[in-house]
Amino acid sequence: MQKNILTKLHYLILVGCLIGSLSSCNSSNDQSQKGNVTSDSTQNTSKNYFKDQVKVKYARNFQVEYHGNYKVVKLLKPFEDADDGMQYALVQRGTPAPKGFKESEIIEIPIRKIITLSHTHVAFIQQLGQINSVQGVSVPQYLTNATLIDKHKKKQLVVAGSGMELNTETILAAQPDMVMASGMASNSYKKYQTLISAGVPLIINSEWLERTPLGRAEWLKFVALFYNLEKEANATFNKIETAYQKLVSLTAKVTKKPKVVVGLPFKGTWYMPRGGSFVGQYLKDAGADYYWKNEQGVGSMPLDFEAVYGKALKADFWMVNSSVKTLQGIKDRDTRFGDFEAFKTQKVYNNNKKTTSQGVNIFFNNSVVHPDWVLADMVKILHPDLLPEHELVYYQKLPLSQN
């Protein structure tokens, strides 16, 4: 009996030792794993993931700072009517997010799926070779990219909205890595709150607020940050910059600058680009004498017909930037247009040379990443002797009427 009790006791002690040993072993493994996680986290945050970096040279509305596993992108003026800045932390996928940022400010990169609410953003994405990452767009009838047009026809493209209306439920169901919107008026930001509250990263792109064509084009680097394609963006932008500045050096020698008027009235108002806008910079760089060159600020100013008529009637050239296709089409809108000197001498040009099969003007979507092409067209029009071999890319001289 005593022997059996001792035997059972020895058995229990052995099992206890085994359990203790296993527990000790598991505890040791847990500690080891925790140590590895801590080690990996430390390594992930301190490791330099971004050997290729961008430096902002012309753009005034965004900045970027690089850290070990994340980038901080700062928008200095996201909206035209507000000066409050914004920031985003772009965190390398699979690494810890930094502290000090709101959840809505953190975006995992590189992104794989994007919904864009502006077609100019598509031009940047296309330039970076990432068109297949575009999951959805707004107002798809204005698409100019062949790949996305085809996807839309096959109903493979998310329709994120039309005009001011946002298809919030459709966007949420698509689960994009990011939605990119334009920084228009600050109160329009309110319509994105449902997306933001649901955890969808909403990024504001304010390229249109830049004061120079190269400043706008440099937002290629901004978009590249989300794809980790800084190297590609730098190489592309350097080519654009070199070509653009070469043209500027040509017009710097010009002594006679032709007077230019721009645009056409819309619903009774003539929205004239300010001299401080990127359009004003284009005209300056092209060697034009623009009537409103001294008007500071970005964007356009609303003028009535009489204000333009009284000032620009004797303009040498007229760049209408409209859907109109002939001089007769202009005069049909208002017979007084026939009084303009540029109309009489048939020196009226429009940027609608290239359109899609659906009739969408490619200029408005794509020219943002080709300011050198735009400037070359303007120089050719205003000073043809400076670029004798250049063929117009976006602009065309309007005929009297259609044959």
Residue 304's CATH number:
3.40.50.1980
70 and 177 belong to one structural domain: yes
35 inside domain? no
CA distance linking residue 371 with residue 262, whole number of Å: 17
In the predicted model, is pLDDT for residue 308 greater than 80?
yes
Q: Which of 184, 214, 239 is the last residue of a domain?
A: 239
In the predicted model, is pLDDT for residue 40 greater than 70?
no
CB 362 within 8 A of CB 356: yes
CA distance linking residue 329 with residue 96, whole number of Å: 60
Cβ count near 379 (within 10 Å): 23
CB 105 within 8 A of CB 82: no
Q: Which of 239, 274, 308 is the last residue of a domain?
A: 239
| Residue 47: predicted pLDDT | 87
Question: pLDDT tens across 178-227, in order?
Answer: 999 987 777 778 889 999 999 999 999 999 999 999 999 999 999 999 99
CA distance linking residue 161 with residue 68, whole number of Å: 37
Length of the chain: 403
272 and 223 belong to one structural domain: no
- Ramachandran angles phi, psi of 138, nearest 5°: -100, 155
323 inside domain? yes
In the predicted model, is pLDDT for residue 20 greater than 50?
no
CA distance linking residue 124 with residue 104, whole number of Å: 24
Q: Which of 216, 207, 212 is nearest to 78 (CA)?
A: 207
The answer to which of 2-16, 177-191, 321-335 has the lowest mean pLDDT is 2-16
403 inside domain? no
The radius of gyration of the chain from alpha carbons, rounded to an integer in Å, stands at 29
Question: pLDDT tens across 127-182, in order?
Answer: 999 999 999 999 999 999 999 999 999 999 999 997 678 999 999 999 999 999 98
Q: Which of 107, 70, 63, 109 is nearest to 85 (CA)?
A: 63
More confidently predicted of 96 and 43: 96
Strands 134-138 and 158-162: parallel
Q: Which two tokens stand for residue 133?
A: 């990452």
CB 296 within 8 A of CB 276: yes
Look-up: residue for tokens 């390398």? 92
CA dihedral over 40, 41, 42, 46, signed as positive or negative? positive
Average pLDDT, the chain: 89
| Residue 297: predicted pLDDT | 86
Q: Which amino acid is at 387?
A: L
Q: Which of 239, 269, 297 is the last residue of a domain?
A: 239
- Counting the structural domains of the chain, the total is 2
| Residue 210: predicted pLDDT | 93
| Residue 148: predicted pLDDT | 97
178 and 88 belong to one structural domain: yes
In the predicted model, is pLDDT for residue 324 greater than 70?
yes
185 and 282 belong to one structural domain: no
Reported confidence tier of residue 264, pLDDT bands at 50, 70, 90 = very high
- DSSP notation for 136-164: EEESGGG---HHHHHHHHTT-SEEEEETT
CB 390 within 8 A of CB 376: yes
Q: How far is CA 77 from CA 84, 163, 191, 288, in A?
A: 7, 23, 19, 29
10 inside domain? no
In the predicted model, is pLDDT for residue 257 greater than 80?
yes
3 inside domain? no
Q: Which of 75, 69, 74 is nearest to 98 (CA)?
A: 69
225 and 268 belong to one structural domain: no
Q: How far is CA 345 from CA 177, 316, 319, 381, in A?
A: 53, 8, 13, 14
pTM for the whole thing? 0.86
Q: Which of 370, 390, 267, 9 is nearest to 1 (CA)?
A: 9
Reported confidence tier of residue 303, pLDDT bands at 50, 70, 90 = very high
Q: Percent of the chain beyond pLDDT 70?
A: 88
Coil, helix or strand for 245? Answer: helix
CA dihedral over 303, 307, 308, 309, signed as positive or negative? positive
| Residue 163: predicted pLDDT | 67
195 and 331 belong to one structural domain: no
**Domain that includes residue 385, residue range:** 254-397
Coil, helix or strand for 228? Answer: coil
186 inside domain? yes
Mean predicted confidence (pLDDT) in 107-131 = 97
What are residue 361's DSSP bridge partners?
Answer: 355
Q: Which two tokens stand for residue 131?
A: 């068109």
Reported confidence tier of residue 44, pLDDT bands at 50, 70, 90 = low
CA distance linking residue 189 with residue 202, whole number of Å: 10
315 and 284 belong to one structural domain: yes
| Residue 25: predicted pLDDT | 35
235 and 258 belong to one structural domain: no
Mean predicted confidence (pLDDT) in 351-356 = 95
234 and 339 belong to one structural domain: no
| Residue 39: predicted pLDDT | 35
More confidently predicted of 218 and 29: 218
13 inside domain? no
Q: Percent of the chain beyond pLDDT 90?
A: 79
| Residue 1: predicted pLDDT | 41
